[in-house]
């Protein structure tokens, strides 16, 4: 009983996530400056991590959860790299 | 019987959290598209990361904990989702703060709706004294 209810709820949730990702992607492609592009990618990827956790429940595959952790960490690294590049115009460690 | 009641409560709470999160996500994406410049879009990014990513992850962890049809691995999924949620709670504000500081200092995005900019004057004065 719980199973059917959860699966139906998740099926309703998916299109809203897809609409949000589309809007973020439009901003990431259009974005006039570099910080705009990185900010849109940033928000989109954190939401993608949440979406992966929801997908893991839908497909009943626990292997999708570590992927979400790695995704969150990588997009934080992207933020810090781009911020450092913008501030001092170099990528050195 | 009691166990199924607890599972139902966990799943219901998790579904409420995921629903609130996904609606905030849509609102944040609309704001990201419609707001005029970078420093205004930071507000939309805040809604999108904390309300739109942290809250659904906690909700997904509650749903996973209450769904017995997932089998034994549901505790792994629940714990992993909580870990991801806490990581995002720490990393997302730090990342967007660093990005905002870099965008302001490198002048790559302009601060448009403004009446006075004390930080710019301060930086100019400080830089002038350093070079002199």
The three state secondary structure string of chain B is CHHHHHHHHHHHHHHHHHHHHHHHHHHHHHHHHHCCCHHHHHHHHHHHHHHHHHHHHHHHHHHHHHCHHHHHHHHHHHHHHHHHHHHHHHHHHHHHHHHHHHHHHCCCCCCCCCCCCHHHHHHHHHHHHHHC
Compare B91 and A90 and report the one with higher pLDDT. Answer: B91
- DSSP for A40-85 reads HHHHHHHHHHHHHHHHHHHHT-TTHHHHHHHHHHHHHHHHHHHHHH
Domain ranges for chain B: 2-131
Cα B15 to Cα B105: distance, rounded to the nearest angstrom: 42
Contact between B89 and B41 (Cβ < 8 Å): no
Instruction: Spell out the domain ranges in chain A.
Output: 2-88
Q: Which residues of chain B have pLDDT under 70?
A: 1, 128-132
A-contacting residues of B 68-127, CB under 8 Å? Answer: 68-71, 73, 76-77, 80-81, 83-84, 87-88, 91-92, 94-96, 98-103, 105-106, 108-109
Closest residue in A to B19 (Cα–Cα): A13
Q: Which of residues 30-59 of B touch A (CB under 8 A)?
A: 30, 32-33, 38, 41-42, 44-45, 48-49, 52-53, 56-57
**Is residue B95 a contact partner of residue A42, using CB atoms and an 8 Å limit?**
yes
| pTM across the whole model | 0.88
**pLDDT tens digits, residue range A27-82?**
999 878 889 999 999 999 999 999 999 999 999 988 999 999 999 999 999 999 99
Half-sphere exposure of A87 (CA within 13 A, CB side): 14
Interchain CB distance below 8 Å, B56 and A50: yes
| CA atoms B41, B43, B46, B47: torsion sign | negative
Position A47 scores a pLDDT of: 93
- Which chain A positions have a beta carbon within 8 Å of B57's beta carbon? 49-50, 53, 68
ipTM rounded to 2 decimals: 0.89
Asked if residue B77 lies in contact with residue A65, where contact means CB atoms within 8 angstroms, the answer is: yes
Nearest 5°: the CA angle B50, B56, B61 is 125
């Amino acid at each position: 009983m719980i199973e059917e209810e959860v699966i139906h709820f998740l099926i309703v949730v998916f299109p809203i996530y897809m609409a949000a990702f589309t809007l973020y992607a439009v901003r990431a492609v259009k974005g006039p400056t570099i910080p705009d592009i990185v900010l849109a990618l940033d928000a989109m990827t954190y939401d993608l991590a949440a979406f992966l956790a929801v997908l893991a429940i839908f497909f009943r595959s626990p292997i999708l959860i570590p992927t979400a952790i790695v995704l969150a960490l990588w997009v934080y690294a992207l933020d810090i790299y781009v911020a450092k590049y913008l501030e001092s115009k170099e990528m050195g460690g | 019987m009691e166990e199924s009641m607890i599972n139902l409560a966990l799943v219901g709470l998790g579904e409420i959290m995921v629903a609130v999160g996904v609606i905030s996500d849509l609102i944040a994406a609309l704001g990201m598209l419609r707001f005029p410049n970078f420093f205004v879009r930071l507000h939309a990014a805040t809604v999108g990361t904390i309300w739109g990513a942290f809250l659904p992850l906690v909700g997904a962890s509650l749903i996973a904990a209450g769904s017995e049809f997932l089998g034994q691995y549901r505790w792994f999924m629940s714990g992993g989702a909580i870990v991801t949620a806490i990581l995002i709670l720490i990393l997302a504000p730090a990342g967007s703060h660093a990005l905002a500081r870099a965008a302001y200092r490198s002048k790559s995005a302009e601060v448009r709706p403004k009446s006075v900019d004390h930080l710019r004057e301060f930086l100019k004065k400080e830089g002038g004294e350093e070079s002199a």
